[in-house]
Structures are given as C-alpha cells and as structure tokens.
Structure 1
C-alpha cells in the first residue's frame, strides 16, 4: 500500500505603505560558490513561470490567475533532492533545466543562493521565504536528506504523529497560521489516512511603494471592463508621477513599472482590446529582458484599481501535464529521502493572496504620509488606465526572481 506525501505551497503577498524588516527567528545562510547555472536561474525560472501561467489559463479561462512561481520552483527543486532516476529527471526538466549539460549539484546550489538572497534582511522590504517538512514518526528519513534540505532551503523539519489526523492537522495549521502572520488559517482539512509527509512552502512579502497614492484622490466607483458585456465598479487610485513605461507595438500592450522603495518592483501589463491571448502566448524571459531594455521614465497620469486577489490551485493535474508524472505514480522513486519504500506524491496545493492599495491592509500601522501637488505639470502627459484585464508581475531586483505572477480579469472577485 503506498504512503502519501503532500506538497503544500502557501503565498501571502501584502502590499502596504509601511513595513518593518523581516521578522522570525534568525537563520544562518551560507552562500555557495557561484556557478554557471546561477547566472541562468532567473531566465529558467521565468520561463517555467510563464509555462505554468499558460497551463492555469487553460484550466481557468476568463478567471483571475495569481500564484508565486519562485515558491513552486523552489519546493519542487527541494523535493527532487530525495528523488532518483526518472522521478528526479522529470521534476528538474519540467522546471526547465537541461540535465545533459547541467549537474544537479549546480541546480541545488543555485536554489541555495536564491533562498539566501531572498531571505537576506532588507530595510523597508519584508520578504521571507521558507519551507517546513512534517514527517511521520514512523518514517525513517535519511540524515543526508535532512541535512541538505536545511542547508539548501533553510527547511524546518517536524516529527508528526499522522495516526492522529485531527492533531496532525491542528499542528500543521497552527504552524502555517504563525508563518503567514495569521492570514492563512485552517489550510489542511482532509488529510488522507496513509499520509507520512507534508511539505509546506510559504512566502511572506510586504513592501512600500516608492510613490504612494493619496487616498483622497481614490475614486470609489470606477468602471472596470471585465468583458465586452460586463462592467464592475472598483475603487480606482490616481497619481500623476514619473514612471518607467513603454508601448510594445509588437505585442500590442502598454507596460508600466511601479517601484517599491527597496529592491522590488511591479510590472503592470495592459494589452490592447482583444490582444490578451496574444500577449499571454508571447510572455517569456526574453520578453522581460526586452522590456527592461526599452522602459523609459516619464510623467504619467496613472489610474490603478485598489483590489485584493487570491487563488487556490490543486497542482497535481497541472504538474502531470507538464511532465512530472512518476512522482505521483506507485513506482515513484524517492530513495534519497527515506529508507521506507512506497513513498509517492499524493497532492500539490498552492494558495496565494495579494492586496494592493494606497496604504496597504488595515492590520498594518501606517505613518502619516504627505502628498505634494505638482502645479508645474501640464495635463498633456500620457494617461494610463488599468480599467480592463491586465497582467501583474512582482519581481525581486537582486535575483530578478518573479515572486508573483497573475492576471486580473475581475478585481472584485475574491
């Protein structure tokens, strides 16, 4: 009888106008030596992100899409540490790595460097990414695996009694609630009886806009076009400021870069009417590099909706279609993880939450912010209104990692 491993990925993205340094207990992070794979990581991870995005759009047409590509990549790469043969090969190749010319040791070092860089404390940017591994008391994990997941992925390992399902659920849910600052509760509801291991991955992110919006200029009832026949009313923030932006005539879209005060940025992509599928199909790491090269700074009369977006995915079907098949099969091969036989991946779940606004969430203490008028600005500057479906990317600057990727079809849909 097979025993089950759960892969649960949690993302909490909170955008606010005031925040502190990363909280939680201190960890010692050792940067590995740089290698050739490290310099290709951002491109490889970005292409995986867009491939995953396109899979989600097929499964969820005309719906909001939102997830954290970097957390999914890191969790799967971590899982590959315990795998061998085709089980490991399928995981790493689905992530976009060419195993013919890329040693697996370099891949793991690349993710180790990524984890260290993302978790390095940054003033005015709260970014914490981590993994927690809940292992059944009867399981005999190999010391090498436990050491490697701690070294590469800063993973906490907990011995859990899965024979008491309600107690195990409470233990995991309490841990998740604590790590996500109380924003994700009662995540695990229906553990399978033969579960022996659960991997939980999370990202917690808060950042301050470099140019915060003035709440007094937010229009509460602004028309947002969901489709040709549907319009919803949303709060629309407004600011006249200098931003990096461009019109991509090849992809028929407008791209706007909104910087956070420290080490992160958001890209808002507004396709022309009827061009969303064309833009979605063309998105790649090369597209991001092109935009980065062509973006130019200038005054913009900007309108951005104030909204919250969340999404929950059962990744099993998506990962199967992307080539990760053996890990879910009865013949799954995880000999580097445990001495026990019959371990296979049962489920992979992903949850993401994001709030965008002038001042962030109500739970955050906001200092007084003074807003200056710009009387010298004329009314002849370009107007960019995100009043119809648009794409949203949030990137960490030093690693060029896509922390979040999504599509806002209906900003009132929670």
Structure 2
C-alpha cells in the first residue's frame, strides 16, 4: 500500500515541481495524468480518451447518438481497470502474444472483411487512428481473452449426463431451433449494498425500462447506464439459443416476441434488463465426407525435395499403368505411420479436418482418381479419392451444440463471477475526481 501511495505522490509531486519551475513543461506532464491505480499498475488519461474517441467515431459512422461524456468516461475507466487486472495476470503467467500470432489474427480479420492486411491498415489510418497502436490494442485483446479463457475454463465441467438431459429437453421443447439476438443492461448493486442501495438500483432499472418502452435507443441507454461487460458495445450479447443463455434470461425469454423488453430481473449482481432484438431458426446439418488413401514421402538429408517428388511421380505412373498395387506401395514406402499399415487408407473423414493443400487436392478429384505429387508441411504426397458422400450430421451437430450451449452458459456465468472476484480482491484507487 505504501508503495502504491509513493507512486502517486511521485507522479503528482513531479507535476507540481515542474509547474513551479517551468509552466510549459508542467503543462505537458498534465496532458497524461494518472487516472487510477490498479494494484501496481496505473491507468492514464490518454488511455481513457482513446477509448472514448473510438466509441464516438464508431457512433458517428453508424449515426448513433451517445450519452454524456461523463457516462462514457466512467465506462472507459471501468473497462481499463478490468483490462489492467487481466494484463497484470498475463505478466505473472508469462503469457505473451507473438508478432506471428498477431499477424495471423490480423490476416483473418482482413479476410473476413474481404480484404488484405494492407486494406485493413488503410481503413484504420483513414479513420484517423494509428495502425501500430491498433495492432497493440488487438494484441492486448488477444492476451486478455487468453487469460480469461485459461482461468475460467478450469471452473467449467460439462458432463455427459448434462448433455443427455439437455438433448431430451430440446426434443420436448417447442421452438428449440430458435436463436435470440439479445441486448442487455445491468443496473448493478454494490457488493455491500444496503436496503436503500437496492431500492435505489431498482428505481433506476424501472426508469431505464420506462425509457426503452417510450422508444429510446437501446444501445445509447446501455452505454450510459449498464454495468455489464458489453456496456461500451451498446449491451449487445449476440445470438444465443434459449438453452445457452444464463438461466435467469432463459426462463424470462421463453415465449417472448421480437422487440420485447424483459425485466428488471434480479440477481446477485443487480437488476437486468433484456431486449429480444431478433429471432431466427436453424436448419439440418449435412457434411461432405470422403474416404481416401495416400502415400507420404518426407524430404530429408538423404532424400531431397526433388527425389521425394520424383519417387511419387513414378509410383503414380506405375499405378495408372496397372504395374503396382497402392496398398503394397503405401506399406513399403509411406512415412505416415497412422495410415501406412492400412495400405495408406483413411476412413470416412470430413475433409475440412485436413490441411488446406491436402483437402483442396482431394476434393478436386473424381472417384478413384489419383493425384499428381503435391507438397504440404508434412512432405510430398499422392492421394486417391476412393468414395465421397453427403452425411447427415444433424444428431452429432445437436450433441455438439448441446455441449456448446452448456459450456457457453457456464462460461458467461463463471466469467462474470471470476472477474468480479478478482476486481473485489484488487487494490483500485481513483486518483482524479470523476467529475
């Protein structure tokens, strides 16, 4: 505690001394004030302003109205406190996101927008943001998500009986194919709340519902009033099946219509207000499966790249001419231990589980057709497509979906609980008055 106070005193004392000796220098120091102390870390005013400016820019682009600067300011500080706690934990864990991992994520993000990383960079810079700063923000987001996942996952167990029970319920329920796009506002209650505090929070929640029923914009009110983890995103929780929602929401959402406001719903965290923004259905799941066989030759000090390729080209020619047996060649020469003893055969498999080069080559073949030699990260291959079928994976998909629903439900509940626990255990002090 003394160390934390010393840090504050040093920062503020430096600002004061510089102000007495040189007004211009003091002014520069004050431009990036310490807003809060979080354990051994600090939150700076520039970080708060960065979040506020980004939210404002996004709102302007989407023609969305925003609440007061004070509401945005408080939400930004709250987010940075939670982020700081997670980043401090990442440092203790030795968790770091490499440049390679970051670049791969940015490539994926750009691809999802039908562009390249260069296009993404251009878009960021045209919006007035610094691309390198944007990269580091993505790195921070990846780091905090890994910390969160690592600590919350260990608190979650989904048993086979739970899955079976949920599947039975899903079969009995009407509308189990429906998914809901939810908006969420939390009017929180302090951990040591008095009866007066609870009554005050309830009154605030009732006012929020009244405003929503009068047609006020949900996202704006969420940003201004919500204490939930998605407040700065306008309280958008995304698409969820009723079995995937937190129990409190699921029970209240059953049978409700699109656009309906639900709440206030009381939990230990406070009063929840939920809006059912959209509802959609789901369809039967079908998957292409293939049965194939292949021969793998790995280049080495003894076998060059060209030698590996030419060996397979010779095997392919002999097989097409009817002068060789595929299974015998695979058992004698293939360096894939998982399939060599089976004559190179793979049983029915979803081809998307293979590496891209193998998958793409296989799917381009006709039944019984043999490929030319091709390279993957494992070495050189030839592959033959034996059979292809469309498999009904609805039952498997339902089971996987049931598992995912139970996991997501528990993850949301445990994630919120865990973050609240570490927040309550942390030393947090606001250095600058919020007003």
TM-score category (smaller protein): under 0.3
The two structures have a TM-score, normalised by structure 2, of: 0.24
Return the index of the structure with the highest Cα Rg: 2
Structure having the larger proportion of residues in helix:
2
Structure having the larger proportion of residues in strand:
1
The two structures have a TM-score, normalised by structure 1, of: 0.25
**RCO (CA 8 Å, sep 6+): is it higher in 1 or 2?**
1
